[in-house]
Amino acid sequence: MNDPFKQAGDNRKVLSADEDADGRLDAYLADALGGEFSRNRLKGLIEQGAVRIDGAAVTEPKRKVRPGDRIEILLPEPEDPEPKGEDIPLDVLYEDDDLIVIAKPAGLVVHPGAGNWTGTLVNALIHHCGLSLSGIGGVRRPGIVHRLDKETSGVMVAAKNDAAHRHLSDQFADHGRSGPLERAYQAIVWGRPRMLRGTIDAPLGRAGDRTKRAVKKAESDDAREAITHYEVTERYVEQPDGTALAAMVECRLETGRTHQIRVHMAHIGHPLVGDPEYGAAFRTKANKLDAATRAVVNAFERQALHAYLLSFEHPATGETMSFTAPLPADMEALATALRGAHAAA
């Protein structure tokens, strides 16, 4: 007979009652697990046979815990709360019965997840669009067909019915290879790429945790194709040797991987200004700027990345729709400071 405790893997927790252990089993576990589960939830788990002491099943929540007891518990998979509508302001660029286009501000998480169960774009869309979003794309991602990082600003589109969701999702999966989908970003980077225009073709994969990414060899198990086209559009504090202390770069995606632009620009030696993950080692570059500009740069605490252009085919009419959003105030202030900057004396 299969032993569920042996098969539980990471969902199986083993505790050893210390010498001061006393009281009911449900109360002891509620305290020992640091409030992760309520006492009532633990009482139910005990009654369901999910707890055993010294190898024997225990189904009485009031069973006394004794010093030295070896307690095993099968923890249930966490249940993700269903997002609710929240009255969060949206900068709506366009809306009809099939879709909504918004300019997402920096700091807004797209969909609920660990540490961000409320206050997301999804919560705002549910409030704004009502029941039309229900179930489209999954409970936690209703209407969402693509995403931007929390601290990246710019244009996004969301679907308002199943047909629109399928059509838009297919376009993003195709990356514009056979249709009008186009995504363009503005980024402020350290230095200036040697080639003013180029293509970065470097596969990406996980870099040790759930979200961070790194360039990988193509033969790596988790490597996924990633291609970014870039063009330098402005150069800041140009040097006599033709280099610059910073630059504005336009990036266009041929693929859409997590953190793609951020990783690719760092890979060629020009990470985004303010990027805490991939550009932290370059923060001292600000010391090469005059004091006033240095203060503006040091106060900029997010990656300087803005999705300024999004084009796609309307899922119902077939019309090519194109939307732009100007640089947000913080990035405009950063660019303005850099335009007037000079090298530190």
- Are the beta carbons of 302 and 314 closer than 8 angstroms? no
- Are the beta carbons of 133 and 142 closer than 8 angstroms? yes
- Assigned token pair, 239: 């040097």
Exposure string (b/e) for 72-95, b if CB count within 10 Å is 16 or more?
bbbbeeeeeeebebeebebeebee
Q: In which element (H, E) is residue 334 found?
A: helix 329-339
Half-sphere exposure of 132 (CA within 13 A, CB side): 17
Q: In which element (H, E) is residue 124 found?
A: helix 121-129
Indicate the Cα dihedral angle 137, 140, 144, 150, nearest 10°: -160
CA distance 261 to 247: 15
Which positions are catalytic?
149
Beta bridge partners of 236: 246
Q: What is the largest CA-CA distance in the chain?
A: 80
CA distance 166 to 14: 45
Q: Kindly tell me the sign of the dihedral angle through the C-alpha atoms of 140, 144, 148, 151.
A: negative
- Are the beta carbons of 257 and 224 closer than 8 angstroms? yes
Q: Which single residue is written with the structure tokens 């559009």?
A: 233
